[in-house]
Structure 1
Amino acid sequence: DMVVVNLYPFEETIAKTGVPKEEAIEQIDIGGPSMIRSAAKNFWSVTVVVDPTKYDVIVQEMIQHNGATTFSLRQTLAAQAFQKTSVYDGAIADYFEQLANEEVHSELLTAKSEIRLSKISDLRYGENPHQSAALYRTNHKQISGLAGATLLSGKEMSFNNYVDVEAAWQLVSDFETTAVAIIKHTNPAGVGLGTTAVEAYQKALATDPLSAFGGIVAFNCPVDAAAAQQVTKIFTEVVIAPEFDPAALEILKTKKNLRVLRIRPDEQSESLEYKQISGGMLVQTRDTHRLTRDMLVVVTAKAPSDEQIDALLFAWTVCKHTKSNAIVYARKDQTIGVGAGQMSRVDSVKIGAMRAQLPLEGSVLASDAFFPFRDGIDEAAKHGITAIIQPGGSVRDDEVIAAANEHGLAMVFTGIRHFKH
């Protein structure tokens, strides 16, 4: 016997924006899961099919075995069937839990949490060649976000490509104006803003042209031919954007190894993020905080000018997406130097200045966490910066503020920290 069932499209329905509760509930299949489970339970004599992509495999086996299927295949299909109903029921449970949470304003971090993953594809290898890896979609949702991005040209994406592209896309998505980020090992080599895509790209590239080689380029705007022409001048691993003009795509396709990804800009990130530890999982809400002018607290004798505030807010946003300890030197529309991932904050200050390819004189500085000592301020002042943005909150804030005043710097506190590990 054979049972073939395609369940009502509940998952696809709730993945759409603004679907009424009644419509979603109407797509909950009742009889289908029962038939699937019954057939799967009796896999000794019943072939259960829940995935249309398996039809060809099953037909070929039936041809080879005079219309029958093997025990091995039936057992494999039964496992897939139970997995299918488990994911389907889990999606329904998640949906109703979400409804309940919305009604009672419950916390996202509930007492029990399940993560269901469905494989999209195998990857060549993991972070290193000796590690195995695959790409999965999360929970009940349709393939979306970066996992659902369309590869328009180039080689298949690697594990490291996905990690770096995620960092790049999250960074440029934090800007409402035209922005471009060039990323290496999840850290920004350069970020630029502009009135056009090519202007923003050129500013990002100018920050650190050497480190941009082999990097990831993310645009938060459509890519035109002028921008594409610039991108192809140096070796680039991946370019990602919400859209590519036909002429731009033809230019990018001339680089056979360049991966060209199109992503839907309206896709929202998951509300929670996870980090695995031995024996458990750390779960936290995403860092979606966006700083505005009215949140800044001036703590020095000198207040920043409007142009300096623009530069400080820009530097702060880039710093948010840089590995701690993070220091970013910038102007209002361009990074000048980035010091990332150092164990000492003052070392990040030094490295950011050392890596600067453009004049530091007149730039501003952002720090993802407070300065524990005045040495970071003293070091930054050597390079002619004019203003600093940092969270504040150190027991030595008075000393740090005094140092800024001594050097004639404007400094603002945000009250928000942006550690990134």
Structure 2
Amino acid sequence: MGAHMRYGMNPHQAAEVTGGPAALNGEPSMINYLDALNASALVREADAATGLPAAASFKHVSPAGAAVAGKIDDVASETWRVHDDGGLISAYVRARDADPKSSFGDVVALSRPVDTATAEFLRSVICDAVIAPGYEEGAVALLSGKRGGRFLVFEADAGGAAAPGAPRAARRGARAGPGCRRRRDRAAGRSARRRRPPRCAAGHDRRPVHPVELRRAGACRCRDRHRAGQQNRVDCVRLAGAKARVWWLRRHAFVCELPEVAGMRRQDRLNWQIRFAGAEMTRAQRAEFAELFGAEASDRYADAGWRDAWCADLAGVTLVSDGFLPFRDNVDHAAEYGVATIVEPGGSTRTDEVVAAAAEHGITHVQTGLRLFRH
């Protein structure tokens, strides 16, 4: 008999769970479980592929951002008030900072046990749940007090399975509705048996994929091991490119040095910085922005020149797709956002055109030979 969940996909639907990660605090819904399971699988595989602590920020069963531990740049350090260049906190800060607007109220997945410092940091940001393969003494107690005691704390199996005794095939469903069953994907960075290994293609030149390129591969777009994912092809490229552009523009002095507004919360300031950087304000927001930050900032918002000049230096971006790129327009758009490497399964009827387009733009093109859809 399965354990009762708060609700299924939606509040009016009932559901139960058999197996799954242990809920150490809070009453999860089915979506909470799915977020936790998928996020945990992602960070576990990223950790195994890179040997570094990994973190993901999940919303609605998709990553808003994912990253491995490493140096936190000055802008992210100032934003999140964190100075950590290689620990577990750094992985999550880098993941959340990839798209902090989308990460609001996320499920946090961590590939290593949560220490008290990480637990304290999670208490300071707006998130709804965390899943990790363990917790240091005192960490669960710290987290359990968040959100009035409703904060969800999941424990994944440290051995690698989604939960102790969980079957190798993942299953999900709800009462009065069909369930579905699927085999889990093999770990990222490893080809399935009898699959050809990933290879780079630039014109007719092919070579084995360099480990650094595999280390970067993990979702739709990444730079400096930061990732943010989306769900379709050419629109995905354009939208992910826009997110990469905003991430880069947030490093511009005009954005970083917006005047401080007394009493403004961190997330509200972040949202204004993102709107300012991406030039995505409504008329009403522009009036409010001018009132909050002054006429000089308002004038800069209307000037696109500084944005274009700054983004001319955006480079070294990696574009990764779980399905093949069907047309060369994906590559043409990618080139406009500083993409240097494309990783995709290949095998489209027009893959030769995609390869040729990559060569024209000087982009390294990697064909993995392995589709990795996950629904």
Same topology, TM > 0.5: yes
Report if aligned partners of 1:275, 1:281 keep a CA contact under 8 Å in 2. Answer: yes
Cα separation, 2, equivalents of 1:224 and 1:302: 49
1:156 aligns with 2:27: yes
Cα separation, 2, equivalents of 1:302 and 1:383: 24
Q: Which is greater in Rg? A: 1
1:333 aligns with 2:225: yes
Code of the residue aligned with 1:168 in structure 2: it is: A
Cα separation, 2, equivalents of 1:248 and 1:419: 35
Relative contact order (alpha carbons < 8 A, sep ≥ 6): 1 or 2 greater?
2
After superposition, the Cα gap between the structure-2 partners of 1:348 and 1:133, relative to the gap in structure 1 and judged at 3 Å, is same
Structure-1 residue corresponding to 2:239: 351
Code of the residue aligned with 1:187 in structure 2: it is: S
SS at match of 1:183: strand
Structure-2 residue corresponding to 1:272: 169
Tell me how large the CA RMSD over aligned residues is: 2.9
Report if aligned partners of 1:311, 1:331 keep a CA contact under 8 Å in 2. Answer: no
Cα separation, 1, equivalents of 2:235 and 2:142: 41
- TM-superposed deviation, 1:390: 0.8
- TM-superposed deviation, 1:248: 3.2
After superposition, the Cα gap between the structure-2 partners of 1:378 and 1:230, relative to the gap in structure 1 and judged at 3 Å, is same
Report if aligned partners of 1:365, 1:385 keep a CA contact under 8 Å in 2. Answer: yes
Identify which range, 275-284 or 172-181, moves more after superposition.
275-284
TM-score of the two chains, using structure 1 as the length reference: 0.60
Code of the residue aligned with 2:135 in structure 1: it is: F
Code of the residue aligned with 2:168 in structure 1: it is: S
Cα separation, 1, equivalents of 2:178 and 2:67: 39
1:251 aligns with 2:251: no
Cα separation, 2, equivalents of 1:229 and 1:304: 48
1:285 aligns with 2:183: yes
Tell me which of 95, 103, 109 is aligned to 1:204. Answer: 95
- TM-superposed deviation, 1:219: 0.7
After superposition, the Cα gap between the structure-2 partners of 1:197 and 1:275, relative to the gap in structure 1 and judged at 3 Å, is closer
- TM-superposed deviation, 1:228: 1.9
SS at match of 1:377: helix
Tell me which of 343, 356, 370 is aligned to 2:324. Answer: 370
Report if aligned partners of 1:179, 1:193 keep a CA contact under 8 Å in 2. Answer: yes
- TM-superposed deviation, 1:311: 5.4
TM-score of the two chains, using structure 2 as the length reference: 0.67
1:313 aligns with 2:214: yes
Tell me which of 327, 333, 354 is aligned to 1:400. Answer: 354
Report if aligned partners of 1:311, 1:364 keep a CA contact under 8 Å in 2. Answer: no
- TM-superposed deviation, 1:133: 1.7
Structure-1 residue corresponding to 2:107: 216
After superposition, the Cα gap between the structure-2 partners of 1:420 and 1:198, relative to the gap in structure 1 and judged at 3 Å, is same
After superposition, the Cα gap between the structure-2 partners of 1:161 and 1:353, relative to the gap in structure 1 and judged at 3 Å, is same
Code of the residue aligned with 1:173 in structure 2: it is: R
Cα separation, 2, equivalents of 1:382 and 1:260: 41
Code of the residue aligned with 2:114 in structure 1: it is: V
Deviations along 1:95-150, whole A, 9 cap, x unmatched?
xxxxxxxxxxxxxxxxxxxxxxx22x22232211211222234xxxxxxx52xx14
Structure-1 residue corresponding to 2:374: 420
Cα separation, 2, equivalents of 1:378 and 1:241: 39
After superposition, the Cα gap between the structure-2 partners of 1:169 and 1:282, relative to the gap in structure 1 and judged at 3 Å, is closer
1:295 aligns with 2:197: yes
Gaps of 5+ in 2: 70-85, 249-313
Report if aligned partners of 1:315, 1:365 keep a CA contact under 8 Å in 2. Answer: no
Cα separation, 1, equivalents of 2:116 and 2:205: 42
After superposition, the Cα gap between the structure-2 partners of 1:289 and 1:373, relative to the gap in structure 1 and judged at 3 Å, is same
After superposition, the Cα gap between the structure-2 partners of 1:226 and 1:276, relative to the gap in structure 1 and judged at 3 Å, is closer
Code of the residue aligned with 1:125 in structure 2: it is: Y
Cα separation, 2, equivalents of 1:358 and 1:310: 25
Cα separation, 1, equivalents of 2:110 and 2:150: 19
After superposition, the Cα gap between the structure-2 partners of 1:125 and 1:283, relative to the gap in structure 1 and judged at 3 Å, is closer
Cα separation, 1, equivalents of 2:178 and 2:223: 42
Tell me which of 6, 14, 37 is aligned to 1:166. Answer: 37
Deviations along 1:142-175, whole A, 9 cap, x unmatched?
xxx52xx141x3x211222111111111111112
Structure-1 residue corresponding to 2:291: none
Deviations along 1:260-313, whole A, 9 cap, x unmatched?
22222115353224577999876543212432499221210598999x945542
Structure-2 residue corresponding to 1:238: 129
SS at match of 1:182: strand
After superposition, the Cα gap between the structure-2 partners of 1:279 and 1:254, relative to the gap in structure 1 and judged at 3 Å, is closer
Report if aligned partners of 2:44, 2:160 keep a CA contact under 8 Å in 1. Answer: no
Deviations along 1:361-394, whole A, 9 cap, x unmatched?
2211101111111000000000111111111101
Report if aligned partners of 2:23, 2:152 keep a CA contact under 8 Å in 1. Answer: no
Report if aligned partners of 1:370, 1:392 keep a CA contact under 8 Å in 2. Answer: yes
Report if aligned partners of 2:31, 2:61 keep a CA contact under 8 Å in 1. Answer: no
Tell me which of 53, 61, 67 is aligned to 1:186. Answer: 61
Gaps of 5+ in 1: 1-117, 138-144, 320-327
Report if aligned partners of 2:35, 2:107 keep a CA contact under 8 Å in 1. Answer: yes
The aligned length equals 278
